[in-house]
Structure 1
Amino acid sequence: MDNKREQNPSPVPKKTIPPYMKAVSGSLGGVVEACCLQPIDVIKTRLQLDTTGTYKGIIHCGATVSRTEGVRALWKGLTPFATHLTLKYTLRMGSNAVFQSAFKDSKTGKISNQGRLMAGFGAGVLEALAIVTPFEVVKIRLQQQRGLSPELLKYKGPIHCARMIIREEGLFGLWAGAAPTVMRNGTNQAAMFTAKNAFDVLLWKKHEGDGKVLQPWQSMISGFLAGTAGPVCTGPFDVVKTRLMAQSRGGGELKYKGMVHAIRTIYAEEGLLALWKGLLPRLMRIPPGQAIMWAVADQVTGFYERRYLRNAPL
């Protein structure tokens, strides 16, 4: 009997990276991404809010903002944007790891593609409600302001902006555009986490917990490819989100009553392609942003794998 037990030992659970390490890796990646790509986000927001054709394209928009408001205007909203990205990636990476653990097969420790999609969607919905929506409302309100004189601007900074919104529109004013944000982020993260894992396996034969650490350039390629599909699929949600967040409830009757009404109004007034306004700057920001974030995150988790999971020499 003892020999039989020795010949057929019970399977040893596969070691995995704990959620808190995933959260730390995401937060560090978010800081680097925010500093590098903030100007693209400002240009995207200005293009999405432009209903009169003021800006002729990405380069013209960036040049106009720099000329009329100064180069520093391209980093408007950096504080809420950086804080937002850091908290968002912390929650996204940590919650996705928790959700993936829940969807893993208890015997094999593996997770199916369907499980990855569900875990990613859950992480996207959670981050949209807890972090993304209120931070983006503040960011967009700051970014849409035009002018050089701080005293002429309605919002003096992120904290002042949040206070003004709460005072004029109530606490839920910070959650304007929550519905399209949930749809956008849930879909994006479901696709992104599944695609990132698929590209790691397909391109580099990298499996989580195998001790192999990707080179930063490898992580950037996988992250870039994984971050490309989402903006194309979720463009209308992003435009509607921006329009809903930008309108102030303190200024009278709202033009857009909700997500569906906004889609119909934009389509009727501006045409179908208007629902993909700002797509090019999104593609200039999101895939490179994912590339930067994953390059940092994979190095952090790779260090943990080598040091604590595989005990390989550093």
Structure 2
Amino acid sequence: MSELLSPPASTPGLRLSRTQKDLIAGSVGGIAQVLVGQPFDIVKVRIQTAPSGTYKSPLDCAQKLLRSDGPTGFYKGTLTPLLGIGACVSIQFGALEGAKRFFGKRKGDKEELNLAELYTAGAIAGVANTIVANPVEHIRIRLQTQPQPPIYRGPWDCAVALWKMGGIGGVFKGQVSTIWRDGLGYGSYFLAYEYLVQRHIRTKGVKREDIAPIWSVTYGAAAGYALWFSIYPIDVIKSKLQTDHLNPTKRQYKGMIDCATQVWRTSGWKGFTGGLTPTLVRSPFANGATFVAFELAMRGLS
């Protein structure tokens, strides 16, 4: 089983524990994900949360963003995810590797994990991630969709404003939808990646640390598609809930079911696919970068 876990276990120089290495390498992967994927993500969020007909296409959205905010507009709200997503992915990989080790020990550390075990490990990682992911994404979405002149001066100012308006519930708005999205989505995400890695190790007869980076990128890209195709409608609902008014008397949506019902009534199935194109374009780059950065960082920490 040891060759199926992220390599390798010995750290004679750094004397880091396995969990510490998982967390550090996960942070590296998260930073890579943000830097590569942020321009695509802001287009996705704007399309998801804008009234129907605001943008003709993702390209139209990108062009309008470029005209109104310039090139730096594509990295609006980046500080929050750069810090937060680094922490999120760190938690994801730490929880994932811990769950994999738990299942591996039960099977004698030699047998491959089955699909159910891989999915469960990924789901655990996804749910663990939400404690940081939800407030980070909430703040990022508020910054990405704020008008000009801006309402918030930056991430901290936005967080303080959310707290003043809604307390802890204001900061963690959309938490339930994030748990559903990340639990289901990261189950599929890590299942796809880890299954492909296990298959590569088995068919090629190599150790995990010997897998070429191009394969980590390829398998990460496939994992990204597995993630988004499994949960995209939930992500749309989450984005709409997180841009809804914090004052309960002024909210458009009462919750996930009410939001889904209203979207269906006004836009049908298309209402749940807004912003899908930039997401699918972004996915192989961002997720490929995440996994190759994680794997290489793990090797560097050995």
TM-score, normalising length: structure 2 = 0.89
2:36, 2:285 within 8 Å by CA — same for their partners in 1? no
Superposition deviation, residue 296 in structure 1? 1.0
Match of 1:310 in 2: none
Residue 180 of structure 2 is aligned to residue 190 of structure 1: no
The CA distance in 2 between the partners of 1:207 and 1:164, in whole Å, is 54
In structure 2, relative to structure 1, the CA distance for the partners of 1:14 and 1:144 (3 Å cut) is closer
The answer to whether structure 1 residue 226 and structure 2 residue 255 are counterparts is: no
Structure 2: distance between partners of 1:268 and 1:221: 38
Other-structure match for 1:157 = 154
SS at match of 1:108: coil
The answer for the alignment partner of 1:119 in structure 2 is 121
Q: Is the 8 A contact 1:44 1:278 kept in 2?
A: yes
Write the deviation string for residues 183-205 of structure 1: whole angstroms up to 9, x where unpaired. 11111211121211222233464
> What is the letter of the counterpart of residue 41 of structure 2?
D
State the identity as a percent: 24
Structure-1 separation of matches of 2:105 and 2:230: 30
Report the Cα offset of residue 138 of structure 1. Answer: 0.4
Question: What's 1:236 paired with?
Answer: 233
1:262–1:211 CA distance, 2 compared to 1 (3 A): closer
Cross-structure match for 2:15: none
Displacement of 1:181: 1.0
Letter in 1 for 2:91: L
Contact between 1:228 and 1:287, CA under 8 Å: does it hold in 2?
yes
Q: Which residue of 2 is the match for residue 133 of structure 1?
A: 134
CA RMSD of aligned residues (A): 2.2
Aligned residues: 288
Contact 2:85/2:136, CA 8 A, preserved across alignment: no
Between 1 and 2, higher relative CO (CA 8 Å, sep ≥ 6) is seen in 2
Name the structure 1 match of 2:14: none
| Aligned partner of 1:180 among 163, 177, 181 | 177
After TM superposition, list the pairs within 5 Å mapping 1:254-265 onto structure 2: 254-265=251-262
Letter matched to residue 289 of structure 2: I
Q: Which residue of 2 aligns with 1:71?
A: 71
Inter-partner Cα distance in structure 2 for 1:208 and 1:121: 28
Identify which range, 96-105 or 79-88, moves more after superposition. 96-105
- Distance in 2, Cα, partners of 1:79 & 1:212: 32
Distance in 2 of aligned mates of 1:79 and 1:19:
26
Q: Mean alpha-carbon deviation: is it higher for 249-258 or for 292-301?
A: 249-258
Decide whether aligned partners of structure 1 residues 174 and 207 sit closer, same or farther in structure 2, where only a CA change above 3 A counts: farther
For structure 2, which runs of at least 5 residues remain unmatched after alignment?
A: 10-17
SS, match of residue 257 in structure 1: coil
- Cα distance in 1 for partners of 2:190, 2:246 equals 36
Q: Secondary structure at the match of 1:189?
A: helix
The C-alpha deviation readout for 1:288-314, integer Å capped at 9, x for no partner, is 21100111111122345xx5xxxxxxx
Contact 2:213–2:292 at 8 Å: present in 1 too? Answer: yes
Q: Partner of 1:35 in structure 2?
A: 35
Q: 1:121 to 1:107 in 2, by over 3 A?
A: closer
Structure 2 residue aligned with 1:20: 20
What is the aligned partner in structure 2 of residue 55 from structure 1?
Answer: 55
Distance 2:116 2:105 in 1: 12
Is 1:104 aligned with 2:104?
Answer: yes
Range that drifts further, 247-256 or 36-45:
247-256
Partner Cα separation in structure 2 for residue 68 and residue 188 of structure 1: 34
Secondary structure of the 1:170 match is helix
Change (3 A) 1:159 1:170: same
Deviation at 1:24, TM superposition (A): 1.4
Q: Give the Å deviation of 1:28.
A: 0.6
1-structure distance, mates of 2:103, 2:268? 42
Distance change (3 Å), C-alpha of 1:216 and 1:163: same
- C-alpha contact 1:200 1:206 (8 A) present in aligned 2: no
Q: How far has the Cα of 1:214 moved from its partner?
A: 2.1
The correspondence for 2:286, drawn from 286, 289, 304, is 289
- Report the structure number with the largest CA radius of gyration: 1
Shift of 1:206: 7.7
Deviation, 1:91, is: 0.3
Answering whether residue 202 of structure 2 is matched by residue 201 of structure 1, we say: no
Aligned pair partner of 2:270 in 268, 273, 276 = 273
